[in-house]
Amino acid sequence: MNILRLAGDMTHLISVIVLLLKIHSIKSCAGISLKTQELYALVFVSRYLNIFTDFISLYNTIMKLIFLGTSFSIVWYMRYHKIVRRSYDKDQDTFRHYFLVLPCLILALLINERFTFKEIMWTFSLYLEAVAILPQLVLLQRTKNTDNLTVQYIFLLGAYRALYILNWIYRYFTEPDYLHWITWISGLVQTILYGDFFYYYFLSWKNNVKLQLPA
Amino acid sequence: EDDELSHDEL
């Protein structure tokens, strides 16, 4: 495993920890989209169907368990925790996330590397992950006072994808037959969706003001 | 049997 891939995984892990820390310590999920979190839980379930059948490494298995466990606990907190759920911006988080699921499933059935159940679910998870951030970005745009942790969480998620792209470039040049167009294109689409956010993130950082996306 | 692809990334 190369350093870019490890950095990408760690950034992803830290993003989840930041979010859980926010929820757990200040008992608030204000500014966080439940729609996006539910999509991520679905992404991990459909991607990690191979968790008990294909052993890759201990690292791989543990990380999969962490991502599955944390994504479900975040959804649980936001839906059922008696204090946390009160801070959920339900009226603002109105993105029809179900409309993202079906097109991704159809696309996975049409464009995949192998027509097997596990492979289609894996491909579906890639397509879904690419667009799962959309409800969160919409909510961010609508929220007037976004707290710092929410902004850091989104930034870390975007950074994780950007690092994965660098990892793919590195692997393409160092490993023979390393060619994964579906993964690359969905990862690229996902990173592009963060483009706007990154632009305003750096502006707010440069000018030392709170980030607020223009409506 | 080349039905399964190995996915080593998360």
Residue A136 has pLDDT above 80, yes or no: yes
Count CB neighbours of A60 within 10 A: 20
Nearest CA in chain B to A171: B9
Range in A23-27, A41-45, A146-150 with the lowest mean pLDDT: A146-150
**Res B2: pLDDT:** 54
What does the pLDDT average to over A63-69? 97
* Residue with the larger pLDDT of the pair B3 and A63: A63
Which residue has 């008992």 as its token pair?
Answer: A27
Q: Give the one of A56, A63, A119 whose C-beta lies nearest to B5's C-beta.
A: A119
Nearest-CA distance A22 → chain B (Å): 24
What does the pLDDT average to over A173-199? 93
Q: Which of A139, A134, A128 is nearest to A104 (CA)?
A: A128
ipTM score assigned to the predicted complex: 0.84
Instruction: Name the phi and psi angles at A54, rounded to 5.
Output: -110, 110
Instruction: Collect contacts of A45-53 with beta carbons under 8 A, ≥24 apart.
Output: A46/A121, A46/A122, A46/A124, A46/A125, A46/A128, A47/A121, A47/A122, A47/A125, A47/A126, A47/A129, A49/A118, A49/A121, A49/A122, A50/A118, A50/A122, A50/B7
**Res A146: pLDDT:** 84
- Chain B positions touching A63 (Cβ under 8 A) are 10
Nearest CA in chain B to A2: B9
- Chain B positions touching A167 (Cβ under 8 A) are 9
Residue B4 has pLDDT above 80, yes or no: no
pLDDT tens per residue across span A177-189? 899 999 999 999 9
- Chain A positions touching B5 (Cβ under 8 A) are 113-114, 119, 122
Percent of chain B whose pLDDT exceeds 70: 60
Which residue has 């660098």 as its token pair?
Answer: A166
Half-sphere exposure of A171 (CA within 13 A, CB side): 19
DSSP H helices, chain A, are 3-26, 34-47, 58-80, 98-110, 117-131, 134-142, 148-174, 181-193, 195-206
Half-sphere exposure of A82 (CA within 13 A, CB side): 0
Q: What would the DSSP string read from start to end of A42-92?
A: HHHHHHGGGTTT----HHHHHHHHHHHHHHHHHHHHHHH-TTGGGG--TTT
